[in-house]
Amino acid sequence: MEDYERVPVEDWNAVADHLREIAADGEVSESGEGIEITVGSATFLVTKDGRVSAGMPLHDFEDGGVEALYFDHDAGAIRVEGGDLSYEFRTPS
């Protein structure tokens, strides 16, 4: 994961900035609880308390208690890592 930048969820301003950058060609919806990006038919939501959910046409993902997200802007990817969990969200090309 050397191409990924680790961003703790507690650094909310940085998380929001990274999500806005990943969604440069999509939509961003922000509330007091979290931020959701939509790029094409894919969505990614993270809340300030560490809940993450993602949806694409063929699958959905949800997990709570996430401490950090990993961003690779060149690949348009966000990784969620923790315990036995490993999930990667990629924006559609």
Give 29-78 pLDDT, tens digit per residue. Answer: 999 999 999 999 999 999 999 999 998 877 888 888 889 999 999 999 99
pTM reported for the whole predicted model: 0.88
Give Cβ neighbours of residue 41 (< 8 Å, ≥ 6 apart).
56, 57, 92
How many structural domains are present in the chain? 1
Asked if the model's pLDDT at residue 21 lies above 70, the reply is yes
Q: What is the largest CA-CA distance in the chain?
A: 32
Asked if the model's pLDDT at residue 1 lies above 70, the reply is no
Give Cβ neighbours of residue 65 (< 8 Å, ≥ 6 apart).
50, 51, 82
Structural domain range at position 43: 5-90
